Amino acid sequence: MGFKKTVSERSNAFIPLLAITFILFVAIIIKLQDQRQIEATQLNITQILSSVYSEQEDILNAFLDRQHRHLNFLSETPPIHEINQANISNTIGLDTEDNDLWKSRLASIFSSLVHNYSDVLQVRLIDATTGYELVRVDKVGQDIKRIMSTKLQDKSDTDYYQHTIRLAKDTAYVSELDLNRENGKIEYPIKPTIRFALPVFDESNQLHALLIINTSAQKLLVQLQAASNKRDAQFSLLDQYRNIIAHPNKNYRFTKDLSPELTWDKLYSAQPWFANTLKITKERNNTDNYITQFNELTFAKAEVGGAFQFTFVNSITENQFDEMLLERRLSSLGYLVIILVVFIIILTILLFYIRSAAELRKTRTEFAAIIEGASDGIIAINDEFIIESYNAAALKYFPELGGDKPSKELLDLSSFTADFVDKLIQPSSNNNLQIKSTDNAADLQVKMSPIVNNNNIKIGNALFIQDISEQIKYEHEIQEINSSLEQQILARTAELELAREKAVNASNIKSQFVSTISHEMRTPLNGILGSLSLMAKERHDEHINSLLDMMNLSASALSTLINDVLDLSKIEAGKLEIVVDECNVITAIEDTVLSLSSQAFNKNIDLEFDVTGIKHFSLVLDVGRLIQILNNLVGNGLKFTPHGGVYVLAHTYTIDDNVRLEVKIIDTGIGIAKDLQSKLFKSFSQADSTIASEFGGTGLGLSISKQLCELMGGEISVESDKGQGSTFSFYIDTPANKAKELPDTNILNNATFKLLLCSEFIHKKWENSIRFFGGEIVNEQPDYFIVDCHHSEYQKIKDNPTILARSIFLSRHSETYNEIHDLFSFLNRPTKLASFFRLFSTKTELLQYFTAAVNDDNTNEIDFPILANKTYLVVDDNDINITIACHLLHSVHAATITASSGVQAIEKLVEAKKNNIYIDAILMDCQMPIMNGYEATKSIRSGEAGEEFKVTPIIALTANAMSDERDKCLALGMNDYLTKPIDNKKLFNTLQRFSISDILPNTVEKEVVQEADQTLDQAKALDRLMGNNEIYKKLLAMFIEETPEKIVALNNFIQTNDFDGIWQIGHALKGTTGNISALILRGFADQIEKAAKQEDITLCRQLSKSIELEYQVVEQLIKKTLNTP
């Protein structure tokens, strides 16, 4: 431990010393490097300002040189000398016309110069003797003018005249750069001007004139400033007297002319900096410092007079210098960071190494202590099996290890025999080797593991010896226990298998019971409901109709109960089917609630709905299940509401890729306690035990409704308090891409209404309805009144003929009132949107959104013309069922053949074949004596009745509504499955589907004879046309002319799967066939329109062929009619 402490202390002292040395080293480097950066930056600034001055010097020299060239050029022009000669001639009295001519020519030359050089402002020729201007051309704005002789001036008293007349030949005079003056006053806007003058000598070397050029210095100053700006420097220009000409501060420009008291030396102080060419300048009234370079440029001799020197002052601010220096420092800092990172890495590695070494020593010490104190024996051996070390536990097992022999071999221990060591060497067997301790007191397990060095090279082996005496003892005990447990498990398994068999048998018995009860209950129920349906079509007195209604209501309630039990069984078996289709949710909800209105009337409570929140009239969902949920929830609300009412509120909205239909059923009934609400949605469960005794019911409705909602991707919930009523809410998500929105429903055009209603909900419903159709609610001077017949104002309005003519009275269904004359309208409550719509609009295209069928099954018998003259075999052992089925088929003008068993059914088919009667489909009951429907189907499909009946559609008509019954029927060869009681529309639709699919290619083989009045009902068409035969024949001629093109287009659309095109052709054919009363062809057109809407291309192809064949029949009849006078 002492050695370890010393190393640790040394390492702790060494690291700070190394860090301090490095920090000093880095500090020296930073200092030296920083000094270098300062000097480099200073040198860089000197170079920048020098380069700026060099460019400015070139600019000024070029400017001066250009002006000198102008003077030399002008002095050599002929008019200059000729004017001198003319002046001499004039002096001696000769003609002066030559003099004027030459002056004009000279003026033209001056004008050309001024025109070609924008900086030339004025050119003059002055008489050297008198000082008068001889010729002068000025630039005035953009114009160039020659000054008239009367306006020429005497310039003999000007500095440039006085200096120029004393100059030698070819020596030019340059004036100071000042502001131009006219008549002794500075011209504004100011014009910085330099005058260049040249004495002109004649041939006898006598001075006779002066050439003067006034040049604008504005462009020159801009160029000089630009040269400085390019390098982010500030520029000032001084004359030889240190007057400021140019300066960044416009207040300090042209101080000689504008502020004579200001000179550079008065404004600024300067001190040397870095080099003689650079100085630190500071404005006396400011704290900013500038690094400045002064450069004096002498361009003429002082004795010539005028300007001979300019001082160029280029500066940068100290902040610019600091930024440049900082940039260099940051650049060099990168290298220092690299050095610092390298040092930190080295220091970290060194520190890690020192600490790792200390940790390693510590770990070795700890491991040595652990090994020494381990309960298992550990022996270290080398590759020659020489024992190198061992712990105390090993010494306990093998006392021989403590002998005096300095080096022991493993074989020196009596427990380790040569055979055992050989097994120990083999890797596959050294994990479960057992030996006895030296004294045979302990059972030991020996494992060998290699010992490797840091380079992963094996340097020996370690033997791990574990005392397993207790383990062996427990293993024997466990084996004895396991032996007894196996016997217990076998016995328990046998008990569980027996229980499972009992459970399966119970489940099968339950399913069989439900199936049997379903069949036995539905069979008589089919007879009851079928008979009631047929009786309802006949005329009866009021008493009989009342009894029929009661019977129908009771039978429907029984049917609902049976359906609930069956649905529950299907849900439990996971076989309940959800069949989605396009439906009008507005009419579905309205019609469902209306069907329950008589219950509300009988209890003297309100029943209302508000569907104005539905923005998508058409949704794809299972409308049957939607109606089932509504019936359950609204029915419950009516059942548990003794006073007040039940109100249904529905709306749709878009959420993600779905359109959600949300419906709330609000009642003012008895309410439900919070602690009982969790039981509501459980099967056969009600809020408490008194519910069933007081209100009745099975407790199935809410449970089924909840599971139906979840199957359709929705949820159902309840909010309620005891005695405060309840609100049941549910939603169903439907695909948004298949939903259809309502168009604009404004038909009222802001018409105003006053509401006199008894209920807050009803009031809100009518507010929404009126706004939905584009109207407004007012309290004064309305266009219309909507009045509840139970309202206190009802009688007053009834007695006021003026108001009565604008009033709509509302009464509950089943309430009767005497006829009221002059009343605008009377509506039943709850009121459908369509009923209110019809009062104010005849737009049928808009009305259809509120009257459209819930689904395509909502049709009546006349929508099934294809079933007419078909022949169906009805097989059932119950005479009532046969009678009802036959009555239904006869209502669509179909023929029937009946049989009471499977055997008789086969006999009837054989007989029909002999009599050339074609059987279009077989309606087969499944549960019959002698031969049931399943066996009969097998026989028919095997050809016992004849080969032609092997493909005849067989439709199961069974009272067994379990979901596996359908699979069983289809598996045996039946084509479809319908449950009892028979739904006439489902039956007709199913038969129609198989009739259409069966028309081709067997139409000709069947030789079906169709009556002419169904193919072409001329009497009906003429009746619609008021007996106008001429118009009818025109319609017929147009029909046979246009229809072939439509059929060709229809086939083309079918080839390309263009369902929109198919629908359009079907829709068009339905209209034209309706015009001429081609009823069968119209039926095909209607069906292909629906098939296109459902995107069923197979059915479209079949219907297309049917249309072609039927058109041939219609065409022949039309041609015959047209040829008849």
Q: Give pLDDT tens digits for 721-733.
A: 888 889 999 999 9
Taking 60 as the threshold, does the pLDDT of residue 515 lie above it?
Answer: no
Sequence-ordered list of residues with C-beta below 8 angstroms from that of 416, at least 6 positions apart, any chain: 410, 435
Taking 80 as the threshold, does the pLDDT of residue 842 lie above it?
Answer: no
Look at residue 526 in the predicted model and tell me its pLDDT: 61
Weakest mean pLDDT among 788-792, 999-1003, 1008-1012: 1008-1012
Taking 90 as the threshold, does the pLDDT of residue 659 lie above it?
Answer: yes
User: 765 pLDDT band (50/70/90 cuts)?
Assistant: very high
> Is there a contact between 134 and 125 (Cβ–Cβ < 8 Å)?
yes
What mean pLDDT, rounded, does the chain reach? 80
Which residue bears the tokens 């080797």? 433
Weakest mean pLDDT among 19-33, 567-581, 645-659: 567-581
Element (H, E) at 956: strand 954-958
At 1024-1048, the pLDDT tens digits run 676 778 878 888 888 888 899 999 9
User: 776 pLDDT band (50/70/90 cuts)?
Assistant: very high
What is the distance between the alpha carbons of residues 487 and 1103, in angstroms, rounded to a whole number?
Answer: 71
Over range 980-994, report the average pLDDT.
Answer: 79
Taking 60 as the threshold, does the pLDDT of residue 553 lie above it?
Answer: no
Helix, strand or coil, per DSSP, at residue 928: coil
Which residue bears the tokens 């102008």? 70
> Is there a contact between 960 and 966 (Cβ–Cβ < 8 Å)?
no
Give the domains, in start order, of the chain with CATH numbers: 55-216 (3.30.450.20), 374-467 (3.30.450.20), 504-573 (1.10.287.130), 747-857 (3.40.50.2300), 865-995 (3.40.50.2300), 1018-1123 (1.20.120.160)
Look at residue 7 in the predicted model and tell me its pLDDT: 46
Look at residue 189 in the predicted model and tell me its pLDDT: 86
> Is there a contact between 389 and 380 (Cβ–Cβ < 8 Å)?
yes
- Tell me which range, 243-247, 306-310, 1003-1007, 1120-1124, is most confidently predicted by mean pLDDT: 243-247
What is the distance between the alpha carbons of residues 431 and 1040, in angstroms, rounded to a whole number?
Answer: 99
Apex CA 789: angle with CA 786 and CA 792, to 5°? 90
User: 1007 pLDDT band (50/70/90 cuts)?
Assistant: very low
Sequence-ordered list of residues with C-beta below 8 angstroms from that of 266, at least 6 positions apart, any chain: 284
Q: Measured on CA atoms in the order 494, 496, 498, 504, is the torsion positive or negative?
A: negative
Helix, strand or coil, per DSSP, at residue 284: coil
Instruction: Retrieve residue 733's tokens.
Output: 């998500």
At 780-837, the pLDDT tens digits run 999 999 999 888 898 898 888 889 889 999 987 545 556 677 788 888 888 899 888 8
Sequence-ordered list of residues with C-beta below 8 angstroms from that of 276, at least 6 positions apart, any chain: none
Over range 718-744, report the average pLDDT.
Answer: 91
SS (H, E, C) 343-393: HHHHHHHHHHHHHHHHHHHHHHHHHHHHHHHCCCEEEEECCCCEEEEECHH
Instruction: Retrieve residue 924's tokens.
Output: 């087969």
Weakest mean pLDDT among 110-124, 256-270, 449-463: 449-463
Instruction: Retrieve residue 318's tokens.
Output: 């100290």
Apex CA 804: angle with CA 802 and CA 808, to 5°? 140
Q: Which phi and psi angles does 934 have, rounded to 5°?
A: -65, -45
Alpha helices in 76-96 (DSSP H): 78-91
At 194-213, the pLDDT tens digits run 999 999 998 888 898 999 99
Task: Sort strands 871-875 and 921-924 into parallel, antiparallel or unpaired.
Answer: parallel
Q: Which phi and psi angles does 958 have, rounded to 5°?
A: -130, 150
Taking 90 as the threshold, does the pLDDT of residue 764 lie above it?
Answer: yes
Which position has the higher pLDDT, 1014 or 360? Answer: 360
What is the distance between the alpha carbons of residues 300 and 303, in angstroms, rounded to a whole number?
Answer: 9
Cα atoms in the Cβ-side hemisphere of radius 13 Å centred on 204: 4
> Is there a contact between 175 and 307 (Cβ–Cβ < 8 Å)?
yes
Weakest mean pLDDT among 162-171, 395-404, 867-876, 945-954: 395-404
Taking 90 as the threshold, does the pLDDT of residue 612 lie above it?
Answer: yes
Distance of CA 247 to the CA centre of its chain: 62
Over range 458-476, report the average pLDDT.
Answer: 79
Taking 90 as the threshold, does the pLDDT of residue 734 lie above it?
Answer: yes
Taking 80 as the threshold, does the pLDDT of residue 61 lie above it?
Answer: yes
Which position has the higher pLDDT, 1009 or 376? Answer: 376
> Is there a contact between 410 and 377 (Cβ–Cβ < 8 Å)?
no
What is the residue-wise DSSP string for 989-1022? HHHHHHHHHHHTTTHHHHT----HHHH--HHHHH
At 1077-1123, the pLDDT tens digits run 888 888 888 889 888 888 888 888 878 888 887 888 888 888 888 87
What percent of the chain lies above the pLDDT cut of 70?
82
What is the distance between the alpha carbons of residues 1071 and 1082, in angstroms, rounded to a whole number?
Answer: 8
Weakest mean pLDDT among 10-14, 237-241, 679-683: 10-14
> Is there a contact between 120 and 112 (Cβ–Cβ < 8 Å)?
no
User: 975 pLDDT band (50/70/90 cuts)?
Assistant: confident
Question: What does the chain come to in residues?
Answer: 1125
Sequence-ordered list of residues with C-beta below 8 angstroms from that of 399, at least 6 positions apart, any chain: 438
Look at residue 560 in the predicted model and tell me its pLDDT: 61
Look at residue 570 in the predicted model and tell me its pLDDT: 60
> Is there a contact between 213 and 196 (Cβ–Cβ < 8 Å)?
yes
Please choose, from the candidates 313, 291, 314, 464, the residue with its C-alpha nearest in 3D space to the C-alpha of residue 376.
464
Burial 531-563 (b: 16+ CB within 10 A, else e): bbbeeeeeeeeeeeeeebeeebeebbebbbebb
Instruction: Retrieve residue 457's tokens.
Output: 């090279």
What is the distance between the alpha carbons of residues 876 and 929, in angstroms, rounded to a whole number?
Answer: 10
User: 501 pLDDT band (50/70/90 cuts)?
Assistant: confident
Look at residue 453 in the predicted model and tell me its pLDDT: 76
Taking 80 as the threshold, does the pLDDT of residue 889 lie above it?
Answer: yes
Look at residue 454 in the predicted model and tell me its pLDDT: 72
Instruction: Tell me 741's DSSP state.
Output: E
At 777-791, the pLDDT tens digits run 999 999 999 999 888
Look at residue 767 in the predicted model and tell me its pLDDT: 94
Alpha helices in 773-832 (DSSP H): 794-798, 801-804
Q: Measured on CA atoms in the order 967, 968, 971, 976, is the torsion positive or negative?
A: negative
> Is there a contact between 702 and 679 (Cβ–Cβ < 8 Å)?
no
Q: Which phi and psi angles does 4 have, rounded to 5°?
A: -60, -40
Which position has the higher pLDDT, 1075 or 646? Answer: 646
Look at residue 729 in the predicted model and tell me its pLDDT: 94
